[in-house]
A and B are shown apart, each in its own frame.
Chain A
């Protein structure tokens, strides 16, 4: 499963960014949802952060371009939210924790919702 986290500098130990559309980076994690084993991580720059307008939608598009299935981080704004829904990307709202902690919580939530 591919999960994207809104981050600042990026990486498993970074804290989640405080907003979606203009988050500096996304940390994308390929994880086995059953075992929680992380297979691969990478940090991508968020094109929305630099953009003049439509930041949230650009960020959503970037997630889709990277094959992301689930987004974890602060609640996106209305336009971005709609874009993520249309792209079929699940949204898990979370703030104030590191990517590592967020990943653990997100996997629990996903399991519980099955």
Chain B
């Protein structure tokens, strides 16, 4: 059985959506499991989860609700209809129906501004609002567990849900093995939550300027967290010029390019059939490329991941500081 020594977290991220994260993450998980690694797959996209589809999971063994902070409500008997709450609320959550004031729980952010502004103190908070579920399949067809999250539409905290999902995955994994995290697209709270605590990141790009732009943004985040990146270029044969630009960036930033996958119509076919490509058509060009990449990760990266991490992690801390807007001011 292949061993990693201590638990290691590898996040598959890209910035841009639709470049092949889940496809590659699923293949990686299957190959690592075949190679004898202890593994838990985590679908960290709580807003649009689809790793379970690729892995053929149609039933969950556990669904654990996750509760978030609070939502305000007005005690009607105390309300004097003074309108202070509506004026205070920056989210526009206060509505009036038939003369009665009502806080829309789907809009309310629980920021407590309205209750502070309410003269008769008629506003209370309901705690325990369900923001989503963490779902667990103890054993996929390929032998490893899959943990995923699904957020309730409109509820704002996917970051927390992703944290709970990863924590469940980590407790399942135990003292050693690989936590393979399939991140969401973008660089929002969900993705940040997917990245914290990870040592390794597999960044996926496709040969478009949009993908290169998003790659730079996600790479800045991995630099912020001190994560060692590696790059895979998907559908590379579609535009060699942009592949060149992407690889120039990678070279300048010390990101090792660990593989290139050709465009292959077998990929969408396998997605339609909801079967991983390496099962559906293992001889197809994309499957062969993905298998080689997965074998590289298994044999060259994970066997001594500390050396890999030491070699490729960002040497200088480069904190990513967002634009700060001071109250009453504009972005500086």
A, B: real partners: yes
List the B side residues contacting A66 at CB < 8 Å: none
Query: Across the two chains, which residue of chain A brings its CB closest to B225?
Result: A75
Whole-angstrom distance from the CB of A18 to the nearest CB of chain B? 4
Cβ of A11 < 8 Å from any Cβ of B? no
Cβ of B119 < 8 Å from any Cβ of A? no
Encoded as 1 (CB less than 8 Å from any B CB) or 0, chain A from 20 to 40 comes to 111000000000000000000
* Contacts A52-B68, A52-B110, A52-B160; A18 near B322 (Cβ below 8 A): no
- The CA-CA distance from A31 to B97 in the complex, in Å, is 58
* Contacts A53-B157, A55-B160, A78-B192; A85 near B197 (Cβ below 8 A): no
Interface residues of A in 65-114 (CB under 8 A from B): 74-75, 77-79, 81-82, 85-86, 93
Cβ of B321 < 8 Å from any Cβ of A? yes
Cβ of B159 < 8 Å from any Cβ of A? yes
Contact of B322 among A52, A74, A82 (CB under 8 A): A82
Cβ of B131 < 8 Å from any Cβ of A? yes
Interface residues of B in 203-235 (CB under 8 A from A): 221, 224-226
Cβ of B303 < 8 Å from any Cβ of A? no
Which size class do B's interface residues fall under?
20 to 34
Contact of B197 among A18, A53, A82 (CB under 8 A): A18
Q: Are A82 and B321 in contact (CB under 8 A)?
A: yes
Encoded as 1 (CB less than 8 Å from any A CB) or 0, chain B from 143 to 164 comes to 0000000000001110110010
Cβ of A19 < 8 Å from any Cβ of B? yes
Which size class do A's interface residues fall under?
20 to 34
- The CA-CA distance from A20 to B193 in the complex, in Å, is 11
Cβ of B142 < 8 Å from any Cβ of A? no
List the B side residues contacting A78 at CB < 8 Å: 192, 221, 224, 319-322
Task: Select the residue from A19, A51, A53 with max chain B CB neighbours within 10 A.
Answer: A53
Q: By DSSP majority rule, is chain B's interface helix, strand, loop, or mixed?
A: loop
List the B side residues contacting A81 at CB < 8 Å: 224, 319-321
Whole-angstrom distance from the CB of B3 to the nearest CB of chain A? 18
Query: Across the two chains, which residue of chain A brings its CB closest to B9?
Result: A18
Contact of A74 among B68, B109, B196, B324 (CB under 8 A): B196
Contact of B226 among A52, A77, A86, A93 (CB under 8 A): A93
- The CA-CA distance from A79 to B187 in the complex, in Å, is 12
List the A side residues contacting B131 at CB < 8 Å: 52
Contact of B321 among A21, A50, A51, A85 (CB under 8 A): A85
Query: Across the two chains, which residue of chain A brings its CB closest to B192?
Result: A77
- The CA-CA distance from A21 to B189 in the complex, in Å, is 11
Q: Are B156 and A52 in contact (CB under 8 A)?
A: yes
Cβ of B317 < 8 Å from any Cβ of A? yes
- The CA-CA distance from A79 to B221 in the complex, in Å, is 12
Task: Select the residue from A74, A78, A85 with max chain B CB neighbours within 10 A.
Answer: A78
- The CA-CA distance from A79 to B68 in the complex, in Å, is 20
Q: Are A18 and B317 in contact (CB under 8 A)?
A: no
List the B side residues contacting A85 at CB < 8 Å: 321
- The CA-CA distance from A51 to B189 in the complex, in Å, is 13
Q: Are A55 and B159 in contact (CB under 8 A)?
A: yes
List the A side residues contacting B221 at CB < 8 Å: 78
Query: Across the two chains, which residue of chain A brings its CB closest to B129?
Result: A52
Task: Select the residue from A20, A50, A55, A77 with max chain B CB neighbours within 10 A.
Answer: A77
With A52-B69, A52-B156, A78-B192 given, can you name 4 additional A-B contacts, CB distance below 8 Å?
Answer: A53-B156, A53-B189, A77-B224, A77-B225
Show 6 residue pairs from A and B whose CB-CB distance is below 8 angstroms, ordered by the A residue.
Answer: A75-B226, A75-B317, A78-B192, A78-B221, A78-B321, A82-B321
B contacts, CB < 8 Å to A: 68-69, 109-110, 131, 155-157, 159-160, 163, 189, 192, 196-197, 221, 224-226, 317, 319-322, 324
A contacts, CB < 8 Å to B: 18-22, 50-53, 55, 74-75, 77-79, 81-82, 85-86, 93
